[in-house]
Amino acid sequence: MDAQYVTSAALADQLPAPKGPEVAFFGRSNVGKSTLLNALAGRKGLARTSNAPGRTRMANFFAVRFPGGHEVTMVDLPGYGFAQAGAATRKSWEHLVGAYLDRPNIKLFIMLLDSRRALDDVGLDPLDGDLINDLARRGSVLLALTKIDKLSKRDANQALKNATESVKGFPTVEVALVSAENQTGIREIRGMLLAAARSNLKKEMPEE
């Protein structure tokens, strides 16, 4: 698949008009959204990544094209929940993400959660829990447990078990283990991107 940068929006009114299927990346700052997006695209420098939380401040749009011409847009959203974020940052995040969520063309929400966080607590904290609740009511969600390369096999299984338990009330949520470092789960998520790209085509096909 081929991916390229399209545009960015810092404010709600800068969001591009909805066009074609989108897959959106949500999650705390530093959880690995931009890195996952790059791993999916197979291009390290596509979305900017950083050790410092709060790297991505805008909604960044990337067009993905599969062989055969199926297209989907990946949307890298700014992270939330980092310590340095003040009230103004939180407000602008809420405004941008709130407006983004109203788009009718979102096919899949990928919600990222640091796998070590899933290992520590059974159940999601309010910040992650409220968001996943909101996303699950709107459509399909993939809860991606990131940086799984940092966990032992045993801990990875425990994290998966905890996370699965914490979303068992949501029929639209699936859980997956992911690592951009060792490629865990990347092929499967590419498959989901392709499915999102194709879902659009089917809809636009005339009825027989």
**Which listed range, 5-13, 48-56, 127-135, 172-180, lies at the site for Mg ion (CB under 5 A)?**
48-56
34 forms part of the interface with Mg ion (CB under 5 A):
yes
Residues with Cβ within 8 Å of 55's Cβ and at least 6 positions away in sequence, in order, are 29, 30, 34, 48, 49, 79
- 152 binds, options ligand GTP, Mg ion, none, Cβ within 5 to 8 A by partner type: none
CA distance 148 to 184: 8
At a CB cut-off of 8 Å and minimum separation 6, what does 180 contact? 32, 35, 36, 38, 39, 146, 186
Q: How many CB atoms lie within 10 A of CB 197?
A: 23
Closest distance of CB 60 from ligand GTP, Å: 9
Region near ligand GTP per CB under 6 A, out of 11-19, 88-96, 126-134, 141-149: 141-149
Number of residues binding to ligand GTP, judged by CB under 6 A? 24
Minimum separation from the CB atom of position 90 to ligand GTP (A)? 13
Q: Examine residue 146 and tell whether it contacts Mg ion (CB under 5 A).
A: no
